[in-house]
Structure 1
Amino acid sequence: MIEQKNNSNHYDVLIIGAGPIGMACAIEAQKAKLSYVIVEKGALVNSLFNYPVFMTFFSTSQKLEIGGLPFVTISPKPNRNEAVEYYRRVAETFDLNIHLFERVNQVIKKDDGFFEISSSKTSYTAKNVIVSTGFYDVPLLMNVPGEDLPKVTHYYKDPHLYAFQNVVVVGANNSGVDAALETYRKGANVTMVVRSAELGPHVKYWVRPDIQNRIKEGEVTAHFNSELVEIREGEVDIKTPEGIKTIPNDFVIAMTGYQPDFAMLRKFGIELPENLCPVYNEETMETNVKGLYLAGVVCGGLDTHKLFIENSRIHAEMIVKNIMAWF
């Protein structure tokens, strides 16, 4: 065990984020007999909780497993609801020390080598800190007039809300395509607005033919090489190759992507070059601040297609191995 301070809120490892990778880090810390706590601003696996209700993962269930606990499903690829339930069982099985609905506000490295962490509820000290906050916190804005209207959302959840409404979906990657298809099947009049000339390259292979056929049949309208330029209460303006088109509109689902909380990373002292990919050692996951680590998709910066649960689970072992090497 690393040196402890006389403080009930002191830990060997403090983990920010109770997503799958943050939980994997906690499991590894537990195996190494390190004291730890996970501090999460929202619900357990908050990002997954905010995924669309009927979302299906690219990965098989085996590739989403952590801690050696089997993830059993009846389908080749699990859905969002199954994943949320699985990770809740992981938390129960390992009796993980998790503080939910508590936001970390600041992490400061002190002269004595310990970190001082302040949250929305209390304060902590820790020898090591792991940031595993994902990239779902900050939506990429369109920066168009009317984007702040209540009818605009960057987080799509349940298609039933949009039944029989005029819906504009911005974006044609997985989230945009899923939103377009699901709302269409609930009776919405769907228009897709896509900046590029075609659907996103990462669209799930079993979904691509479906959306292509809906567009071909005219059941979903798609404007390619186009962008939304203004949103008003009952209509929107779309800039298309043929000029500005104004169409009736009740809701805008802006699936424009997300990014890590770069302001938070900078506040913690982590270096961010011009490409906004955080500075860290790829062998240990340690940042430029000694004892401060990154884990999971937050490591990818703006390249959110680089890291997933399945290829970043290993970060937990790498980090704890490096921590244990120091004593």
Structure 2
Amino acid sequence: MKIEKDIIIIGAGPIGIACALECKQRGFDYVILEKGTLTNSLFNYPLNMTFFSTSERLEINDVPFISNNPKPNRDEALEYYRRVATSNQLKIHLYEEVSSILEKNGQFIVTSEKQNYHAKKVIIATGFYDIPKLLNVPGEELPKVTHYYKEAHPYSMQKVIVVGASNSSVDAALEIWRKGGDVTMVIRGNDIGERVKYWVRPDILNRIEEGSIKAYFNSEIQEIKESEVLVNTSKGSISIPNDYVVALTGYQPNFKLLEATNITFSDDERHIPTYNTETMETNIPGLYLAGVICGGMETHKWFIENSRIHAKQIAEHISQNL
């Protein structure tokens, strides 16, 4: 079955939703295709996560975001973006993954697992939460190892190694410790990350200093075993008794879809896709990028706060070329 649209938007995160709002306001015939649930990445965040930004900086399309707290939490964000999508009756197909995008004679054939779409323009607004950056060590495949953290309760009264020193790592370490877990942090650098939330950083530093949470800086995991973890530290290799490893070492975008569409990339480790910073159009005419995907491996470059503008940039350019 072939469905014809002006615009196909891939990804129903906050920026994909912002793009849909712009399309609707301009009268474009559009649809969002999302492989998971609405705002799938936010849904998979830790249950008690608090945003760094205030609610007004997370707003899209001038729709007010009212929060009970100075910094909104995960549930408030899910409620906000859900209300934006439903109250505006946005056209969104959830649980429909796109497998390919083919440009042919100035048109795009977008194939999903359910049907084919023909579109004049395509906007890719996928995130970066799907593929974790692996440790690439023996034992990483063991069931005791996870690259995602949801809540602390399962780790109560367990010996837990948390890998990393980012916001997610620090939050997990503190929450697990407060729920009765025996927490050890393994950190490749020599300090807690500079981007850690300013109201949380003193907390983790104090817990480490007092010995409540153990931390090995300038260290890396060498091997993960059933009941222990071997760690290379600045003072040599040590064995740490262990029940679980929570490796929160970051994530990366799924570049396969972009590469298969012949979007070009920078030839360095950043792997930044090619696009016009004024219009967000890639080297493929009519194919646009929005949100965190624009940063390639630099996943800390684009956020909801500073990439909301992408939706308007794209919509204005499409208005001149549709």
Shorter-chain TM-score: what band?
Answer: over 0.9
2:277 paired with 1:304: no
2:169 counterpart residue number:
176
1:116 counterpart residue number:
109
2:152 paired with 1:151: no
Distance 1:320 1:176 in 2: 37
Letter in 1 for 2:86: E
2:197 paired with 1:211: no
Alignment partner of 2:111: what SS?
Answer: strand
Alignment partner of 1:81: what SS?
Answer: helix
Contact 2:101 2:110 in 1 (8 A): yes
1:73-117 Cα distance to aligned partner (Å, 9 max, x none): 121110111101111101111101111111100000012x11001
Distance 2:146 2:89 in 1: 35
1:196-230 Cα distance to aligned partner (Å, 9 max, x none): 00011100000000000000110000000000111
Contact 2:101 2:257 in 1 (8 A): no
Distance 1:170 1:87 in 2: 31
In the alignment, which of 256, 277, 288 is matched to residue 293 of structure 1? 288
CA shift for structure 1 position 238 = 0.7
2:311 paired with 1:284: no
Letter in 2 for 1:151: K
Letter in 1 for 2:122: V
2:28 counterpart residue number:
34
Alignment partner of 1:9: what SS?
Answer: strand
Distance 2:115 2:222 in 1: 44
Q: How does 1:258-277 map to 2 (within 5 A)?
A: 258-275=251-268, 276-277=271-272
1:263-287 Cα distance to aligned partner (Å, 9 max, x none): 2210121111223000000000000
Distance 2:113 2:176 in 1: 37
Contact 2:2 2:115 in 1 (8 A): no
CA shift for structure 1 position 302 = 1.1
Distance 1:215 1:80 in 2: 27
TM-score by length of 1: 0.96
Q: How does 1:193-232 map to 2 (within 5 A)?
A: 193-232=186-225
1:172-216 Cα distance to aligned partner (Å, 9 max, x none): 010110110011111000000000000111000000000000001
Q: How does 1:90-101 map to 2 (within 5 A)?
A: 90-101=84-95
Distance 2:261 2:198 in 1: 39
1:153-190 Cα distance to aligned partner (Å, 9 max, x none): 11111111111111000000101101100111110000
Letter in 1 for 2:303: F
In the alignment, which of 41, 48, 52 is matched to residue 54 of structure 1? 48
Alignment partner of 1:191: what SS?
Answer: strand
2:125 paired with 1:132: yes
2:308 counterpart residue number:
313
Alignment partner of 2:237: what SS?
Answer: strand
Contact 2:98 2:111 in 1 (8 A): yes
Alignment partner of 2:272: what SS?
Answer: coil
Distance 1:34 1:124 in 2: 15
CA shift for structure 1 position 8 = 6.5
CA shift for structure 1 position 67 = 2.4
CA-atom RMSD in angstroms: 1.0
1:16 counterpart residue number:
10
2:245 counterpart residue number:
252
Q: Where in structure 1 are there 5+ consecutive unaligned residues?
A: 1-6
Distance 2:293 2:189 in 1: 26
1:34-91 Cα distance to aligned partner (Å, 9 max, x none): 0100000111000000111111101110011112221111211101111011111011
Q: Where in structure 2 are there 5+ consecutive unaligned residues?
A: none
CA shift for structure 1 position 310 = 0.7
Distance 1:274 1:161 in 2: 42
Alignment partner of 1:325: what SS?
Answer: helix
Distance 1:187 1:232 in 2: 23
CA shift for structure 1 position 152 = 0.9
Letter in 2 for 1:22: G
In the alignment, which of 314, 318, 321 is matched to residue 323 of structure 1? 318
1:4 counterpart residue number:
none
Alignment partner of 2:321: what SS?
Answer: coil
Higher mean C-alpha deviation, range 205-214 or range 233-242: 233-242
TM-score by length of 2: 0.98
Alignment partner of 2:302: what SS?
Answer: coil
Letter in 1 for 2:220: E
Contact 2:2 2:118 in 1 (8 A): no
Distance 2:176 2:118 in 1: 47
Q: Give me the identity figure in percent.
A: 59
